[in-house]
Amino acid sequence: MYLSHAMEKISIQIPSMFENIRIVESFIDNAKEKFHIADDLYGNIMVAVTESVNNAIKHGNGNDRKKLVSISLIIGAKDLKFVIEDQGSGFDPNSLADPTLPENISKPYGRGVFLMRNLCDEIVFSDKGRVVEMKFNMN
């Protein structure tokens, strides 16, 4: 796929309230139309990014409405990257239990980061887990 935009960055910030996920979904919908993102890739992006924002609201910012979640989209020639940042104290993504192990299968939580890792082409946690960068290849 050829993009007429060699590099573009679009960002939004939302207060840490779950009802603001609608704003994030609209942000992704607008990006799909503007950058002609394929439907299958769009589905992966929607699930991974909204999961990351939910985690930032709940676990990162502790549902504190005064704290913000920043969402940026960086468009490259062959890929796009979503960067989600919270204002929390961070976490160690490598310390999370594997949700596919038998002892964790029935637990009703702990699958978000696993999903994110499997839906994007590359994921990087930085700033003590407060920043998540998810890259999606467009070809």
Domains annotated on the chain, with CATH: 8-137 (3.30.565.10)
Nearest to 16 by CA among 72, 78, 71: 71
pTM (two decimals): 0.91
- The per-residue pLDDT string of the chain (139 residues; one tens digit each, 9 = 90 and over) reads 344 445 899 999 999 999 999 999 999 999 999 999 999 999 999 999 999 999 999 999 999 999 999 999 999 989 999 999 999 999 998 888 888 889 988 887 888 899 999 999 999 999 999 999 999 998 7
Output the six-digit token pair for 52: 């990351």
Q: Whole-angstrom Cα distance, residue 70 to residue 88?
A: 12
Contact 120, 50 (CB under 8 A): no
